[in-house]
Amino acid sequence: MQWEPVIGLEIHTQLATESKIFSGAATAFGAEPNTQACAVDLGLPGVLPVLNLSAVERAVRFGKAIGADIAERSVFARKNYFYPDLPKGYQISQYELPVVGKGAVEVVLDDGALKTIGVTRAHLEEDAGKSLHEDGRLGGGGQTGIDLNRAGTPLLEIVSEPDMRSSEEAVAYARKIHQLVRWIGISDGNMQEGSFRVDANISLRPKGEEKFGTRAEIKNINSFRFLQKAIEFEIERQTDILEDGGEVVQETRLYDAERDETRSMRSKEEANDYRYFPDPDLLPLEIDDAFIAAVTADLPELPDAMRHRFMQQFGISDYDAALLTASPAMAAYFETVAAACGDAKLAANWINGALAAALNKADLDIADSPVSAEDLAGLMARIKDNTISGKIAKQVFEAMWAGDGDADEVIAAKGLKQITDTGAIEAMIDEIIVDNPGQVAQYRAGKDKLFGFFVGQVMKQSQGKANPQQVNALLKEKLKG
């Protein structure tokens, strides 16, 4: 039987506010354990939570960025459960009335195809603390300590529709949300520090069937590679069960990166296990049109809009435009090079080609590129005015990357200027004709394929510097005999 995967993601992104969602305690990462939790975060008797407006503002930013409706009135609810890192015995979240309603994002897949993925909702909530197992600073020797610094940190939980059908689509969607939250400045998206965590819900159904199958939820995945691997493992695991005539159990699983497998953690809890109820300490969150308008006016040009603009304005492909709008820094770099050299396609090819490869190899961000946008534009200019060929330009780029100077300096220092002097090229061709009488005779007798051989000889002789168009034209002329 052919099984079709159905995937929906829940993404927890930490909102980059200075203080917590319901208290004034700091949110900075990496402080000594339990130095950034106050009485409110611990839910001590007699304290009251006060909503942080910056967290609301960030949630609204996100909502507007995905074209969602913002709820005029949303409600904070208590989600009750016991866990050592949750001293209050409940988490403040939103349940029936979330602040952000239905929206959507568009992803570009590897083959260039576009797909729209629905976002069901996004709601504000607080993070819990963290259990540190055998951490030297807390406990140790087989003990577990609790660090409450993270308790009360604002999160936006973004819930997707079950619209994805492969691990590739799920990763593309997660990357898109990651790009977006950073782009609009609501989260640093730092996955190592836990600022962006993904839960993946996966089920299978017979291809052609409309009804969804039973899903498993894999919790807390903190890298795109693990997300892909966890989904792929889970698809295989469920396929084996179904092929054997068994049934998938609805449960929560954990991905173990070391063993590359998912493991059962607990049977899936139902919403009513949590005894959700409106938090009596917090008023409903009311957001008026003026607030929404102000937040909307403050949004930058969004990545999808910019991608479409790049395609129209510069005539580049969807795929290229998606790469060039990966981040605002990347987009700014491209626009600078394109404007300075006047050839956007050439700029796009170089940025997505040689530059991207070099950045990737050195594990560098575009902002830290040793070749600045101005310098790359300088190199493009020398290709365009025929000072060097595209092939020699690769060599010049490598030298620029290594810090040997700008394009003109490298070309001068290494003597890479293209040979465009007709006389000089003719002299080389004459010599090659004299040195290769056999090939010349064969060519003249009709073996056209040998033309490439002569081009190669001239390029070799000129160390790649002869202008290719001129070489072609002059060779044709001279080989006629």
Residues forming contacts to ligand ADP in the complex (CB under 6 A) are 6-10, 159-162, 201-203, 212, 215
Q: What is the C-alpha to C-alpha distance for residues 191 and 302, in angstroms, rounded to an integer?
A: 22
Which C-beta is closer to ligand ADP: that of 71 or that of 379? 71
Which C-beta is closer to ligand ADP: that of 102 or that of 309? 102
Residue whose pair of structure tokens reads 């092929």 in the numeric block = 243
The residue length of the chain stands at: 481
Pick from 346, 446, 361, 452: nearest CA to 398 = 361
Q: What is the C-alpha to C-alpha distance for residues 21 and 282, in angstroms, rounded to an integer?
A: 12
CA distances from 372 to 187, 327, 387 (A): 27, 16, 20
**Bridge partners, residue 119, by sequence:** 103, 160
Supply the minimum distance, in Å, between the C-beta of residue 231 and ligand ADP. 11
Supply the minimum distance, in Å, between the C-beta of residue 81 and ligand ADP. 13
Supply the minimum distance, in Å, between the C-beta of residue 225 and ligand ADP. 21
Residue whose pair of structure tokens reads 């993925």 in the numeric block = 117
The residue type found at 107 is: V
Supply the minimum distance, in Å, between the C-beta of residue 70 and ligand ADP. 20
Which C-beta is closer to ligand ADP: that of 201 or that of 387? 201
Cα 121 off chain centre by: 21
Q: What is the C-alpha to C-alpha distance for residues 318 and 141, in angstroms, rounded to an integer?
A: 55
Which C-beta is closer to ligand ADP: that of 41 or that of 126? 126
Strand 114-126 and strand 103-108: pairing? antiparallel
Which C-beta is closer to ligand ADP: that of 198 or that of 341? 198
Supply the minimum distance, in Å, between the C-beta of residue 184 and ligand ADP. 21
Supply the minimum distance, in Å, between the C-beta of residue 246 and ligand ADP. 17
CA distances from 396 to 379, 382, 400, 403 (A): 8, 10, 6, 11
Nearest residue to ligand ADP, by Cβ distance, number only: 8
Which C-beta is closer to ligand ADP: that of 19 or that of 203? 203
The first and second tokens of residue 395, run together, are 């060599």
Residue 299, helix vs strand vs coil: coil
The angle subtended at Cα 252 by Cα 249 and Cα 255, nearest 5°, is 115
Which C-beta is closer to ligand ADP: that of 205 or that of 394? 205
Supply the minimum distance, in Å, between the C-beta of residue 156 and ligand ADP. 14
Please say whether the beta carbons of 119 and 161 come within 8 A.
Answer: yes
Which C-beta is closer to ligand ADP: that of 96 or that of 368? 96
**Bridge partners, residue 256, by sequence:** 261
